[in-house]
Structure 1
Amino acid sequence: MGKPTDTMRPSDDALSLHTTSVRRSDRYLDDDAPELQVDDLPPLYDDVADPTHGDSSSAPLLPSLPTSDFLGIAPLSKDADGNEYYIDPLLDSDPQVLEENVNGWAQTPPRPFVRLQGTHSQEVEENGKKTRKTVTDFDVQVELTPFLYSDAVNRVCFREVRTPENTDKVRRGTILAKRAPGSTQSIEVGLAPKPTLREWCHRYQASHAGLKSFTVTRRMVGFDEEKVKQKLEALVRNTNYRGHLNISFPVKDQYIHVYNEAKTNQWRLTRWIWWFCVLTLTFIFTWPYLFFRTKRFEVVTVDWAYSRPDEAGRKQYISISEDQWYNLWGRAVHRAVLEKRQCTLDQQDLIAAEGAPPVFGNSVVDGAMGIFRAGVSAMGEVNRQLGWGGDC
């Protein structure tokens, strides 16, 4: 249970390389890292999750990702970030069912993103009064989920289901995070082995707490966020952008929460009751009550490794390195920022960034699109030279 999935890293020879003519955005790419063709990009999450995606007559069907209700237990609710909430008597009464569901949930990856958001403040006049308003210049995201697989179709990945060490501070059926009892003993005295997943499932179901929850956390590890952040910040600033830049790494589908079967837990997950508490301000009383009444088991973490150290201590990537990722997406991000887009980029953006304009087969339309693209390019060049996005 504690060992990562035994997979092999694709050899460097498997990555196809190519050279391109030098463009303005190419100045910011890394010469040391090989560039990847668009065909090297693994399928998007939606492409893998939906076996009917695309032209079914020419493309082979892809097996769907494991669903959370594979044992017939469906989530009671799901929030905007993809986190799922379960209430089912089987998860309260049978440790084996809970363990099997945890192992099933572990097969679905988290959905990490790289997000670049640029804003500036602007003075506007409303009803005769001048106020400052925040304006979004661009909001661009790139999903990292495809790069957690070396073979997305066959689910080849670096994945590990683990439980906390006795010295880790986590909620162990408690209100606040704590270490295991006796974990402060010296090494000479010796510590009891940490509980396994099966033992934690038994402990959760043996708890007599009136309100309790069991949480599974899925996360990406082995990705150098600071390195990528520095490269993307330099890329955006080299467009002469003068606004406020925020680069973050949000994650969707990160948590699975299991609540025991109780009326209070049913109410806390009912949308209209939640809104009623917010609008009537009764959350001032309900939130402290739920916080101090609920005993939480946050004892299972599923690590999806973007990279991991090999026996020699070197980084072993499941797909591509951070430098290769940057070289693959750098032009598309550069273009999206200059076009002030607010979206999640996909393969079509990679193709467009490679300089393949769409052909409509109509001379009038093609001519109009050519003028439009020339105008957008001219505006982008002026912004690059004079600066753009500053507070005003």
Structure 2
Amino acid sequence: MNTKPSIPLLQSDDAVSLQTRDPRYLDHDAPELRIDDLPELRVGLDDLPPLYQDAVGDSSSSSSAPLLPLNPALQPFDGIVAQFKKEPITGDEYYVDPRLDSDPALLERHIKWWSQTPPRPFVRLLGTHTQSVNDAGKKEKKTVTDFDVSAELTPYLYSDATNQVSWRALRTAEDSENTRRGTVLRKRAPGAKQSIELGLADKPTLTEWCHRYTASQAGLKCLTLERRMVGFDEEKVRQKLISLVRATNYRGSLSVTFPVVDARVTVYNQCKTNVWRLTAWIWWVCVLSLLFIFTWPYLFFRTKRYEVVFAEWPFSVFGENGRRQFVSISEDQWYNLWGRAISRAVLEKRQGILDQQDLIASEGADPVFGNNVVDGAVNLLRAGVHAMNEVNRQLGWGYSS
């Protein structure tokens, strides 16, 4: 759980101010979605109003965050990438291109470009139970999936998805952080403790890390940009969802996790070994022939890794007054928005990702919340559906798994 994101020290073109003081973003009790008698919600998805316009107002007015496009028009490369791979499940991207090995300015520019794509975090609820089965006269225990439902959190990393308003920031690793700094194992920066106590040199900037990476003479090396959602109270949401599912009298094994897709972009240096590690048929040969028993330790201990750059996308931040300020909605409001849809999907033993239609269909479900306040419920539902539409339209949807 990471509820308090670090204020970025790296002042790049992507860095944005997090000092929003709009009281409408401050934590408050979430309204109950009592919308059974609101037929106006039965509208086409194309007729939905702009996202959170009553909260952020005109995007041209004074705002703490500039307009940041979901998919910038600038393309990362002017030519053909030598080698590229994207994992179908995790969405992790891997690049091999000689230009990124020798030009630190080009590498820095592309890291900034990659940081403009958000991570895609999800809330996943998995319910299972075990049962005994007879297989050829032999009793065995088998795990049965009762339900496996997920809801995406990406739309709530934007205060206005239509105009692409977000609070993201690009930063580098603090000296005290345990991470790989051109090393095989994670470690803190040399003399980190003394530097903190005596107030010595600042941490390396993104520009400096790009120069260090390109200057490294390691035969195998890589630099990774990690996209993170920060400022989200995972434990609070987990407990609410566990209580929600248990209230349905479910007695199986339940887990609530927060997987993230499109979280990492890794640049490998140009060499045959790195090209081979990204070639699908070579990977399968290593797996099926059990050669990975030898190749994996070799690659692990030979590769010098730089995991020092982070693109942080806040769900909330702490203001100067010590109170949380939310980019769009709070955890309570998210639960209030999605609670019925999740409860309904669990009871129907669904497996898959919930979407806009699940939100709309859940309007006729029985209330599951103890708050009788209804002001803003319609706008919250419409805004949530509209945000999902915008994110799917600009980042893509309907991928084959």
Normalising by structure 1, we get a TM-score of 0.76
1:113–1:143 Cα contact (<8 Å) kept: yes
Q: Deviations over 1:236-267 (max 9, x none)?
A: 00000010001000000000000000000011
1:185 CA displacement = 2.1
1:355 CA displacement = 2.0
Q: Does 1:250 align with 2:259?
A: yes
Tell me the distance in 1 between the aligned counterparts of 2:224 and 2:159. 28
1:171–1:178 Cα contact (<8 Å) kept: yes
Tell me the distance in 1 between the aligned counterparts of 2:144 and 2:32. 39
Q: Structure 1 unaligned runs (5+)? A: 24-37, 44-62, 357-392
Q: Does 1:77 align with 2:85?
A: yes
Tell me the distance in 2 between the aligned counterparts of 1:301 and 1:267. 27
Tell me the distance in 2 between the aligned counterparts of 1:103 and 1:124. 54
Higher relative contact order, structure no. (Cα contacts within 8 Å, ≥ 6 residues apart): 2
Residue identity matched to 1:340: K
Alignment counterpart, residue 217 of structure 2, candidates 208, 219, 239: 208
Tell me the distance in 1 between the aligned counterparts of 2:150 and 2:269. 36
Structure 1 residues 211 and 67: alpha-carbon distance in aligned structure 2, compared to 1, 3 A threshold: farther
Structure 1 residues 18 and 178: alpha-carbon distance in aligned structure 2, compared to 1, 3 A threshold: closer
Alignment counterpart, residue 20 of structure 1, candidates 22, 34, 37: 34
State the match for 1:176 in structure 2.
185
Alignment counterpart, residue 142 of structure 2, candidates 133, 137, 140: 133
Alignment counterpart, residue 6 of structure 1, candidates 17, 33, 44: 17
Structure 1 residues 239 and 175: alpha-carbon distance in aligned structure 2, compared to 1, 3 A threshold: same
Report how many aligned residue pairs link the two structures.
Answer: 323
1:6 CA displacement = 3.1
State the match for 2:388 in structure 1.
none
1:42 CA displacement = 5.2
Structure 1 residues 113 and 68: alpha-carbon distance in aligned structure 2, compared to 1, 3 A threshold: farther
Q: Does 1:266 align with 2:298?
A: no
- Bigger mean CA deviation after superposition, 84-93 or 149-158: 149-158
1:274 CA displacement = 1.0
State the match for 2:205 in structure 1.
196
**SS at 2:192 equivalent:** coil
1:2 CA displacement = 2.5
1:229 CA displacement = 0.4
1:42–1:147 Cα contact (<8 Å) kept: no
The 5 Å alignment of 1:277-356 reads 277-355=286-364
Identity between Structure 1 and Structure 2 (%): 61
1:112–1:220 Cα contact (<8 Å) kept: yes
Root-mean-square deviation over aligned CA pairs:
2.8
Q: Structure 2 unaligned runs (5+)? A: 1-8, 38-46, 53-68, 366-401
1:152 CA displacement = 1.0
Residue identity matched to 1:155: Q
Tell me the distance in 2 between the aligned counterparts of 1:9 and 1:145. 23
Tell me the distance in 2 between the aligned counterparts of 1:233 and 1:11. 30
Structure 1 residues 189 and 219: alpha-carbon distance in aligned structure 2, compared to 1, 3 A threshold: closer
Structure 1 residues 9 and 158: alpha-carbon distance in aligned structure 2, compared to 1, 3 A threshold: farther
Q: Does 1:229 align with 2:241?
A: no
The 5 Å alignment of 1:67-146 reads 69-72=75-78, 74=81, 76-79=84-87, 80-146=89-155
1:153 CA displacement = 2.2
Tell me the distance in 2 between the aligned counterparts of 1:334 and 1:100. 44
